[in-house]
Every structure is written in C-alpha cells, then in structure tokens.
Structure 1
Amino acid sequence: MRNKFITGSCILISLIHLAHAQEPLQPLPEKVPLNADKVSLGARLFHDQRLSGNNTIACSSCHNLSTGGTDHTAVSSGINGKQGEIRAPTVYNSAYNFRQFWNGRAATLQEQAQGPVTNPVEMGANWPDVIKKLKMDPGYVNAFKKIYHQNIDMNNIVDAIAEFERSLSTPSRFDDYLRGKTTAITPQEKHGYDLFKSYGCVACHNGVNIGGGMYQKMGVAKDYFKDRGLPVKPADLGVYQVSKLEKDKHVFKVPSLRNIALTAPYYHDGAAQTLDDAVFKMGKYQLGIEISEKDRQDIIAFLNSLTGKTLDTNKTASLSTQP
C-alpha cells in the first residue's frame, strides 16, 4: 500500500511539473553560477562616480537598485544635468535579455556596460581618464590583480560590472507557482495570468524573463506615435537607429515584465504613468482590443506577483570607494 501511495504521489508530481513545463513562461534559475569576487568588484564599480567625467554620476544614478533598477523618470539626467531621450530600463534580470538597450545595439552585458561611460549625455568620460582614476585606488589595484592577474583596463572593468549585473536575479512568488506550488499566487493573480495568456500578451512577453527575448513594433494594431501627439524623436525609431532598415522603424526590444510594479513610468518613452494605463494601451495598440477595467485589474494583480526581492542601494553603495 505504501509503495502504491509513493508511486501515485510521484506520478502526480510529474504531471504537475509537466503541466508547468508547457507554460509560455518559465521560472528563473534557482542557482546562477557566479564569481563572487567579480560580483563584489562589479558592485563597487556600479556605484562608483569616478566612472563619470566629473565624478558625479554612477551606473546606479539611473539604475537605482532600491527602486526597481531604474530611476522612475521618462528620461534620465546624466552628467551636468543633460537629459537623454529614452527611459532607462531596469538592470534587474538583464542577463536574461537576448539583447541590451531598447534598440538592441549591445549583444552582451559587457557591451552595455561600456557604452554609457563615454556617452556625452550620460557619464561623459573617456576610458583612459577613468582607468587613471581607478589606478590611484590601492583597493581597486589589488582587486584587479587578484581577480584578473593584470592591471586595470576597460575590458576587465566592464567584465566585473557585467558579472555583478548577472547576480541581479529576482525570483518571485510566480516562479514558485511555475515550479508547481499552486498556492504561491492568489486566485485573482491566477485569473489574471489566465487572462494574460488568453488575450495574447504571451506572444511577446514570454520565456524566463517574461519579455526581453524578441523585438516588436510599438503600434502593431494602431499608430501609437500618431495618437501620442508628440514629435517623433530619434529614440522613437528603435532598432532603425542600428539597422537603418525601414521595417525596423518603431521596433523595440520587448521589455521584461519582472518587477514591473516597481518600474513606472512605462514604455520606452515613459508615456504610461500607471500599470492600468500601460495595460490599457497595450491592448489598444498591440492587440487591437479594449481590455475591460475588471480584466485589467486582474492582469495587474498577476503582474504584481512578478515582483521579486531587490537590493538596498544604501547597502550596496557602501561597497564603493569614493574619490
């Protein structure tokens, strides 16, 4: 009898795992192989203002880890208060994106970390000056020699930052649900997830990162930019900025929905201030339908279940050395 019970339980567990394996969304890995020394060094660099031209801006200035990995503005302010043209995406779970930046111009986290340092609107520095400043810090000199067995250089700096960003994984209650714990989310959240699938949101927001795995045009069903009423800026052109192909105009990397409740405003231009507005407009411009208020609230409940544990900026910032 006991063996039959065990066998039955194993079959039930297997069926549960099989059902969840067929879901369009997959859970984050439970363990991520990381180099702890690189992560620690990368955290220091991520918060170090010496990577900017005037020692006032760090990666964490726009990617605040205690506010969802972004800065809650439609456009970020860089060196000397200069403003960019696009909303800073979250760095949380960015390791699971198939490309980096809204227009996908970086293939790796290393490439992504390299760009803002020399961007005149963002950090406004140059690599020789940054390296010179860091070499004046014995702590950095020793750390780079220990980890990389060589002096400080650009490639090792961005490699350490990228390793830190790989550590920024935020499993949520929904991941527990995907692994078979049916009580991890509420009935409303479960219904919201069912709606999320039935409306077709999973066509773009799928996989481990619930997005971040493909490009899509902003305004598949209706002209978003015409209705927005604002002049089209270069940043609105999306992948076209990189490819120069007409078909890529207004095409962007689909953003991850993980921690979406923490990262308002929404879209590349920050034009949606609330999740309700964002879900409504996604229905209108991407799916060509009007999602009812009741269904929107249930979908938002599901989106809230995607919030994982994020870091405290004050704690991680203490890792950084100051000039």
Structure 2
Amino acid sequence: MKRNLLSHRVIWIPLIWILILQLSLVAKLYAQEPITVVKWPAEINAEMLLGKQLFFDKMLSAKQSMSCASCHRFDHGGSIPQAKAQQNDGSFSRYNPSSIFNLSNNYPLGWEGQISSVEKQISNLMFKENIMGLSWPKLVKRLKNQPHYVRQFTQLYPDGITQTNIAVAIAQYELALTTPSPFDAYLQGNQQAISKDAVLGYELFKRYGCVSCHQGKKVGGNLLQKIGVINPYNYNNAKNTLSDLGRYNSTGEEHDRQVFRVPSLRNVADSPPYFHDGSIETLEQAVTLMGRHQLGLEISTKNVRLIIAFLSSLSGTPHPELLP
C-alpha cells in the first residue's frame, strides 16, 4: 500500500510542476501582447453613481432637452449614429463624437489632443454654452434647487454642490465605463473566447503594423498622429473645414495640420460612422483606407474581413450597475 502511494506521488509531483510551467508560459506569452486587458472597476461607489445620475440628467442642458448621454449612446458603442452631434444652439459639433467608454486621465483627450483630463473636458463643455446652453453658475444654481442632489453632494463633498464637484462626479462615472470584451478573455488565456477568424485577424493586425498606433488598454487613444503618414489623406482645400485641420486648430503649427488623436478601437464595430469627421460609413472602408494611407498597403478583401472579425471581438459593455 505504501509503495502504491509513493508511486502515485512520484507521478503526480512532476505533472503538477508541468502544469504550473505551462500556465506560467501562457501568462508570459499574453503579457507580451501589445494590447492589454481592461476590467470592470473593483467596486462601484457612491461618487460613480452620482456621476451616473448627472450624466443622464437633461437638467444639465438649458432647454432640458439633452444630456451627456445624448452624444454618447450606450446602444451605439458610446458614440452616436450620426457624423456630427447637434448642439443646444442648433449647430453641429466640429468632430464625430468619440466613444465615452474606456477613457483615461493618462492620455490626451479630444480629437486634437488638446484636453489633459476628463474633468477638464467636462468643464470645457459647460463653458461652451453653444453645446449645452447652460453656464456653470446657472447649472450649480439649478442643482441646488433639487433636494436629492443637495443631499447626495453633501454626503460626498464637504462643500456640497460646486462646479468642481459636479465635474469630478461625472468624471468618476465616465472613467468607470470600462468594457471588458471577449478579446480580453482571450488575452487571459481562454483561447475559445473569440473565433478563429478573429485570431487570424489579430495576427494580421500585428503583422501589418496597426499596433504601432493602436495598442495598450484602449487599443489606441494614447498617441497623436497625422492622417496620411504614407499616402496623403486629402481634405477639401476649397472648404478648408476646421475638422479637416485637426490639431492645427489648437496649436497653429504647420506640422500639426491633419494631426489627430489616434482613436481607441474598443467597441469600434458598434460605433459607425468613422474618422474624425464621421465621413466613413463602414468598418470595411475604414480598415481599407487606414491600410492605404497609414501603412501604404492595399489590404485584400479577405484580410479586411479577418481584421474586422478581430475588431468585433473588442466590443464589450460597462458594469451592469453603470448602465442606463
């Protein structure tokens, strides 16, 4: 009996070490990938939930006809189906609204990369009265007339309802809107999480060099880059629209002409139209044009389809408590 137990132990110990070695090799392999995993927040706190109320509250606009969610729809990848967003004064936004999902305070925001944090972006939106039509003093006054907001702000902030606290609460909510996807499960070792086409598409995405601009947690969003690196991306010189000029609008520097923040590709399959001006209707067009202008390549129809299979695996949803 003792001899049998000993023999089993001799067999199992090497097997256990082999399993541990295999798991460590898998972990090392995926740790070296250019794209890194996103996860839901470890906990959902009261500040995030207050920010959620504000994000969906139409009281933040002058006519109480629109909220932050009006330009960042959860059923459309955090953006809108239109090329530009209609603003409070009837005009349209300069750029196609970027997704509100998977933001970060570590990188520049805005298509021109001119905003350094989510809080500053929120402050800028309220300062521009053509967008929401309501100045900060008017918004603070309006919220102070709402007992439920007075109570919640007082519980969270010693100074209650202020411009800073409003921006911080909304920012905490927006920063919590991470969207773990099937591809994240794949990165963590679940090889069945995405289709074979998506795996092949990811390999092509890396081989072509798309990851040079689209990497990290957001699969982009952390660089400023010229559109038309290899082959010029011509804008309409006759119209010379501000959206075509990109970062040049912020700096006035010639080298910033047609330079834009590289967009995140998370949830990209859910958020057409594409590009800074919303001029590209399909993901097939977007991938083809990026290959041509940024990489100097004509990507075959088959490989475009495979890359789109990969991009589709990047779609996920925020934490259930943070949904509308």
Which one of 249, 266, 269 corresponds to residue 258 of structure 1? 266
1:61: which partner in 2?
A: 70
2:101: which partner in 1?
A: 92
Structure 1 residue 315: Cα displacement: 6.2
Moved more, 243-252 or 295-304: 243-252
Question: Structure 2: how far apart are the matches of 1:78 and 1:209?
Answer: 27
**Correspondence 1:162-201 to 2 at 5 A:** 162-201=171-210
| 1:198 partner letter | R
Structure 1 residue 35: Cα displacement: 5.9
1:313–1:104: structure 2 CA closer, same or farther, 3 Å change rule?
farther
Q: Does the CA contact (< 8 Å) of 1:75 and 1:88 recur in 2?
A: yes
Considering only CA atoms, is the larger Rg found in Structure 1 or Structure 2? 2
Deviations 1:75-119 (A, max 9, x none): 100104221221000001012761111111211110111111232
Answering whether residue 309 of structure 2 is matched by residue 301 of structure 1, we say yes
Structure 1 residue 162: Cα displacement: 0.4
1:71–1:165: structure 2 CA closer, same or farther, 3 Å change rule?
same
Which one of 15, 24, 31 corresponds to residue 25 of structure 2? 15
1:38: which partner in 2?
A: 47
2:129: which partner in 1?
A: 120
Structure 1 residue 242: Cα displacement: 2.0
1:102–1:47: structure 2 CA closer, same or farther, 3 Å change rule?
same
Structure 1 residue 3: Cα displacement: 1.3
Q: TM-score with structure 1 length normalisation?
A: 0.92
Question: Structure 1: how far apart are the matches of 2:312 and 2:105?
Answer: 20
Structure 1 residue 66: Cα displacement: 2.2
Question: Structure 2: how far apart are the matches of 1:247 and 1:112?
Answer: 24
Question: Structure 1: how far apart are the matches of 2:234 and 2:64?
Answer: 37
Q: Does the CA contact (< 8 Å) of 1:34 and 1:167 recur in 2?
A: no
1:248: which partner in 2?
A: 256
Deviations 1:50-81 (A, max 9, x none): 21222222111111122211111111001042
Q: Does the CA contact (< 8 Å) of 1:34 and 1:163 recur in 2?
A: no
Deviations 1:168-199 (A, max 9, x none): 10000100111111111111110000000111
Q: Percent identity?
A: 37
Question: Structure 2: how far apart are the matches of 1:113 and 1:153?
Answer: 13
1:74: which partner in 2?
A: 83
Which one of 115, 120, 123 corresponds to residue 106 of structure 1? 115
Answering whether residue 147 of structure 2 is matched by residue 138 of structure 1, we say yes
Question: Structure 2: how far apart are the matches of 1:81 and 1:238?
Answer: 23
Partner of 1:252, secondary structure, is strand
Q: Does the CA contact (< 8 Å) of 1:66 and 1:313 recur in 2?
A: no
In structure 2, list runs of 5 or more residues that go unmatched. Answer: 1-10
| 2:34 partner letter | P
Question: Structure 1: how far apart are the matches of 2:240 and 2:196?
Answer: 42
Which one of 199, 224, 240 corresponds to residue 233 of structure 2? 224
